[in-house]
């Protein structure tokens, strides 16, 4: 009878925790967010700004032409040259577009670096909109000034006695016109940059 009342003590479990629970897969490290399409467009536009400013400056500084023109002592003629340094408006144009071209290449490199490493310098890229608006005004002023002088050279002004010169210096005027047209394209690029910068900033505002 004593053997029937005898109860064996419960044996301790010999299985370990790693045998009871299945092994968890390693947690994958979070990847950086994919590059935004707006960031890629920003890089392309800034490179276009640099290229257009460089082309405008090169076309302007090479606008030199020498022709034989009449002098006050009739019937004698003498060679006379036309170049951009003869007009303060064209000098300002070259200086302004040179600064904008330098700004374009610097910001395009920074934007490219920010595109490859999105978390590197977001604050710097977000402040580009301030300089974009500033240089938009600079390029617009330079384009308008150079375009006004070029129009006088093309049409003249009979009311004040300003004669047109493009009938004599045709190559010079074509260089000036092409340079002003490329500068106008740079102004459009800056407008697009401002719009894209504003759009990217509005996305960062918490709703």
**Average per-residue pLDDT for the chain:** 80
Q: What is the pLDDT of residue 126?
A: 67
C-alpha distances in Å from residue 95, one per residue of 56, 73, 91, 92, 138: 11, 38, 6, 5, 10
Q: Considering the entire predicted model, what is its pTM?
A: 0.75
Between CA 116 and CA 204 the distance in angstroms is 19
pLDDT, mean of residues 170-191:
93
Which runs of consecutive H residues, i.e. helices, occur in the chain?
Answer: 2-5, 17-20, 37-61, 88-116, 122-126, 128-155, 170-203
What is the SS3 assignment for 186? Answer: helix
Better-scored residue on pLDDT, 26 or 154: 154
Q: Where are the domains of the chain?
A: 37-204
């Amino acid at each position: 009878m004593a053997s029937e009342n005898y109860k064996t003590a419960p044996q301790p479990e010999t299985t370990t925790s790693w045998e009871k629970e299945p092994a968890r897969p390693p947690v994958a490290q979070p990847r950086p967010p994919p590059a935004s399409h707006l960031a890629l467009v920003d890089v392309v536009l800034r490179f276009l700004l640099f290229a257009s400013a460089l082309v405008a400056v090169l076309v302007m500084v090479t606008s030199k032409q020498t022709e034989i023109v009449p002098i006050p002592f009739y019937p004698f003629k003498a060679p006379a040259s036309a170049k951009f340094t003869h007009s303060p408006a064209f000098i300002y144009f070259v200086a302004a577009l040179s600064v904008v071209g330098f700004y374009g290449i610097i910001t395009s490199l920074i934007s490219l670096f920010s595109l490859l490493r999105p978390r590197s310098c977001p604050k710097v890229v977000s402040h580009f909109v301030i300089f974009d608006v500033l240089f938009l005004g600079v390029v617009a002023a330079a384009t308008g000034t150079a375009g006004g002088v070029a129009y006088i050279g093309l049409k003249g002004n009979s009311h004040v006695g300003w004669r047109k010169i493009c009938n004599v210096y045709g190559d010079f005027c074509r260089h000036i016109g092409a340079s002003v047209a490329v500068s106008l394209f740079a102004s459009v690029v800056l407008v697009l940059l401002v719009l894209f910068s504003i759009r990217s900033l509005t996305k960062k505002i918490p709703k």
